[in-house]
Structure 1
Amino acid sequence: MYEHTLTDGTVWLTRPTAADIDRIVECCQDPDVQRWTTIPVPYRRRHTEEFLDRVVAPGWADNAPVWAIRTAEDGRVEGMVGLHTRGPGTCEIGFWLTPAHRGRGLMSRTINLVCDFGFAADGLGLDRITWRAIVGNKPSAAAVRRNGFHYEGLARSGGLQRGERVDEWVAARLPGDPAEPVDGWPAEAGADGR
């Protein structure tokens, strides 16, 4: 796959490069990024170098793109989003965002751009985009719920975070699902506004 920059004029999604290493390392020191993702802790420069070599480069080659989230075309990294292959016609979306940009709608815009590209015939032509998050990650649940993802259940011990099994919430969006808030999410996932 050739690289695709996605933008709506407010957010720009571009492939992260070696020029972004120091900024990614800085972002990954955030306690919430460490709490809700599977990144190594402590997080070091070599981890970003490995991420670029072992995840980003092969991902773009195999239709599993990873983008840096930026607020200007040539802006610094403010987060990361990726589509990871989970079988024929299916990818899983994963993302994180810096504290300064949370709660401002940037992730919703990002998810919308990624899903549009993922489902488009001239994009990835996916049949399904899944989402999984460690139970308790209400901000992540809220972001996908606002963007048309339907709650599918609880995967008990469904994830592995730094060697320990964790329960995960599971949701998905199909090509015909509108990018609008979805009912049917449990209160513990923040569906009651908490």
Structure 2
Amino acid sequence: MDPISLTTERLLMRPFAPEDEDAVYTACQDPDIQRWTVVPSPYTRADAELFTRKLSPSGWQDDTMYNFALLLRDGGPLVGALGVNRSTLPGTYEVGYWTAGEHRGAGYTTEAVLAAAHWAFTVLCADRFEWRAEIGNAPSRAVARRAGFRMEGEQRSGLVNKGTRRDTWTGSLLPTDLGLPGTLPYLPAPDVGGAL
């Protein structure tokens, strides 16, 4: 897919470019980003270069991962990052994100997640938008909840972070949650009241 940009009320969401390398490097020095996301730790300039110059562009080229730099529309600095990753299950995508420390609590990431979900449902023909975070990452969970994700529970050994398997919280957003049609019919399970 050719890289595209999205806009929200306050944000420009565009593909990462080489000129973002310094801002990505600086943001990823944050201990919370290194702790709760899968970015390398310690995070080096070579990591930022690899991410902005190779990994992000190749994800767009091979249609597996669409990474967006989150910038203030008025020309401000890098607010954060958001990635939409293709799942092995057709029509399913997973969202991941981090927010630069000085921009947390302003609702920017929730705004970006909703824009990415709308794009995934309308352009990528997604029928399911998934969120996962390591159990304990309360800020990420709060963003997902504000964006309307339905919390689905916990997944044992649900992700690998820094060479260790970790348990995750999981949630999903469906097109109907945003008032959009899906590409396939959806038949929710009936309430079976305590079966199993």
Query: Any idea what the Cα deviations from partners look like across 1:144-184, whole Å, max 9, x if unmatched?
Result: 111121111111121111111111111111111138xxxxx
Q: Which residue of 1 aligns with 2:56?
A: 56
* Contact kept in structure 2, 1:20 and 1:76, CA below 8 Å: no
The residue identity in structure 2 corresponding to 1:149 is: F
Structure ID, larger Rg = 2
* Contact kept in structure 1, 2:17 and 2:53, CA below 8 Å: no
Q: Secondary structure at the match of 1:153?
A: strand
Q: Which residue of 2 aligns with 1:99?
A: 101
* Contact kept in structure 1, 2:20 and 2:52, CA below 8 Å: no
* Contact kept in structure 2, 1:79 and 1:97, CA below 8 Å: yes
Query: Any idea what the Cα deviations from partners look like across 1:19-53, whole Å, max 9, x if unmatched?
Result: 11011000000011111101111100111122234
Q: Secondary structure at the match of 1:78?
A: strand
Q: Which residue of 1 aligns with 2:190?
A: none
Change (3 A) 1:3 1:75: farther
- Establish whether residue 5 from structure 1 lines up as the match of residue 10 from structure 2: no
* Contact kept in structure 2, 1:11 and 1:69, CA below 8 Å: yes
- Establish whether residue 126 from structure 1 lines up as the match of residue 126 from structure 2: yes
Please, what TM-score do these two structures have when normalized by structure 1?
Answer: 0.86
Q: Which structure 2 residue ranges, 5 or more long, are not aligned?
A: 180-196
Q: Which structure 1 residue ranges, 5 or more long, are not aligned?
A: 180-194
Task: Show the 5 A alignment for 1:9-158.
Answer: 9-63=9-63, 64-72=65-73, 74-87=75-88, 88-120=90-122, 123-158=123-158
CA distance in structure 2 between the partners assigned to 1:166 and 1:134 by the alignment: 7
Task: Show the 5 A alignment for 1:159-178.
Answer: 159-178=159-178
Runs of 4+ in 1 over 2 A off after TM superposition: 52-55, 72-76
Please, what TM-score do these two structures have when normalized by structure 2?
Answer: 0.85
The residue identity in structure 2 corresponding to 1:102 is: R
Q: Secondary structure at the match of 1:23?
A: helix
CA distance in structure 1 between the partners assigned to 2:16 and 2:74 by the alignment: 13
Percent of counterpart pairs with the same letter?
37
Q: Secondary structure at the match of 1:136?
A: coil
Q: Secondary structure at the match of 2:112?
A: helix
Change (3 A) 1:5 1:73: farther
RMSD of aligned Cα (Å): 1.5
Matched positions, count: 177
CA distance in structure 2 between the partners assigned to 1:124 and 1:14 by the alignment: 17
